[in-house]
Amino acid sequence: MFPIKSGSVISLMATLEGWLYLAVILDLFSRRVVGWKLGESLEAELVVTALENALVLRQPEGGLYFHSDRGSQYSSQAVRKPLSVIGANQSMSGLGNCYDNAQAEAFFSTLKTECFPDNHLFASQAQARREIFEYIEVYYNNQRLHSALGYQTPN
């Protein structure tokens, strides 16, 4: 059995009411979004909540590979501690190398292409939350076909 591999990254969403930040954790095998959190702050708690959601959903055994970019949130003790507790191996992209986290970056490109308004500006934070929830939980994980999965959905 291969260890579970996950990828994570944070992206920002513009609204007329201010910025929102989205942390996403993907299962790199199935491309499924297994944890995510949308918040108003870039604090480590954003990633911690996304990670907790992923761990509750997947309950991985030791040996998980958790890959992320080099953001301070991911190197924080708040994120490293739960990964250590479950016996996960943490890895980070090379300095300035977005290609090391290509699947997570590709997810955000797809999200922004398929979910965002044409001007990439949501009318409100509530609209952004609603649209992103529906995109991830209804469409992306359950209906969107992926060529890398033989044209199946992540679920």
* Residue 144 domain-assigned (yes or no): yes
Residue range 21-76, pLDDT digits in tens:
999 999 988 999 999 999 999 999 999 999 999 999 988 888 888 888 888 898 89
Q: Is the pLDDT assigned to residue 1 strictly greater than 80?
A: no
Q: Assign residue 32 the CATH number of its domain.
A: 3.30.420.10
Residue range 77-123, pLDDT digits in tens:
999 999 999 999 888 877 776 667 788 889 999 999 999 989 899 99
**67 SS3 class:** strand
What single string gives the DSSP state of each residue in 62-76? TT-EEEE-S-HHHHS
Q: What is the pLDDT of residue 100?
A: 72
* Residue 155 domain-assigned (yes or no): no
Question: Which tokens go with 6?
Answer: 């996950």
Q: What is the pLDDT of residue 7?
A: 67
Number of domains in the chain: 1
* Residue-range definition of the domain harbouring residue 112: 5-149
**54 SS3 class:** helix
* Residue 88 domain-assigned (yes or no): yes
* Residue 54 domain-assigned (yes or no): yes
pTM of the predicted structure, to 2 decimals: 0.89
* Residue 154 domain-assigned (yes or no): no
